[in-house]
Amino acid sequence: MKKNSIINLKVLIIIVFLFSLKPEIYGQKIQDLKSKNDFFTRVQFGGGLGLMIGNRNADIMVSPSAIYPFNEYVSVGLGAQYSYIKQKDFYKANLYGGSIIALFHPLKEVQISTELEQLRVNQTFHDALGNATADFWNSALFVGVGYRNENITMGIRYNVLHKDQENVYTDGLMPFIRVFFNHKG
């Protein structure tokens, strides 16, 4: 009986030793770590910049964004936006907020987008009677389609929540150029 327990103990030690040397066990743990870090290497960064400065007008816009491509057909992300608009001796506004964006690529060259945007608007009007201010939230839900070539998309989008005279955008239809860069990790 003592001989069998020594043999069993030797077999158990050999099995434990062999499993501790097996690379697949460690390889699986390394793969799990790689897949966790893979999220950040797949994130794409981009956004938009706008600048229009005239004799009496200024319009400056910065809108960075980041998306995560789940596969070659679907990407989802977040964006931020800040705009400063001024018309000398008449109007000044600051707009800031964020957005959630979803991009769909049914074909390599076609991009369909939806974007929910929420902006805080601080406006000041100057006229002969004095100054008037208005502070409010502006919501927009854009649905768009564009032509995509690599990381650049040009297209048009429509704000389905647009109402004349009740929106910071003068028109429901807006052209866009969207650029995203792959992260080089």
Domain ranges of the chain: 2-40, 45-182
Residues 95/124, Cβ–Cβ less than 8 Å = no
pLDDT at 180: 87
For residue 141, what pLDDT band results from cuts at 50, 70 and 90?
very high
pLDDT at 32: 52
pLDDT at 69: 93
Answer whether residue 19 shows pLDDT above 60: no
Who has greater pLDDT, 84 or 10? 84
pLDDT at 27: 47
Which residues are paired to 47 by β-bridges?
A: 64, 179
pLDDT cut 70: percent of the chain above it: 77
Chain-centroid distance, C-alpha 96: 16
Who has greater pLDDT, 74 or 31? 74
pLDDT at 39: 78
Does pTM top 0.85 for this prediction? no
Alpha-carbon span 18 to 4, nearest angstrom: 21
Who has greater pLDDT, 29 or 101? 101
What are 42-99's pLDDT values in tens digits? Answer: 899 998 888 888 778 888 889 999 999 999 999 999 999 999 988 888 889 999 999 9
- 24 vs 11, 12, 119, CA distance in Å? 21, 20, 51
pLDDT at 56: 80
Region for residue 150 given its phi and psi (left: phi exceeds 0; alpha: psi -120 to 50; beta: otherwise): left
pLDDT at 25: 45
CATH of domain 45-182: 2.40.160.20
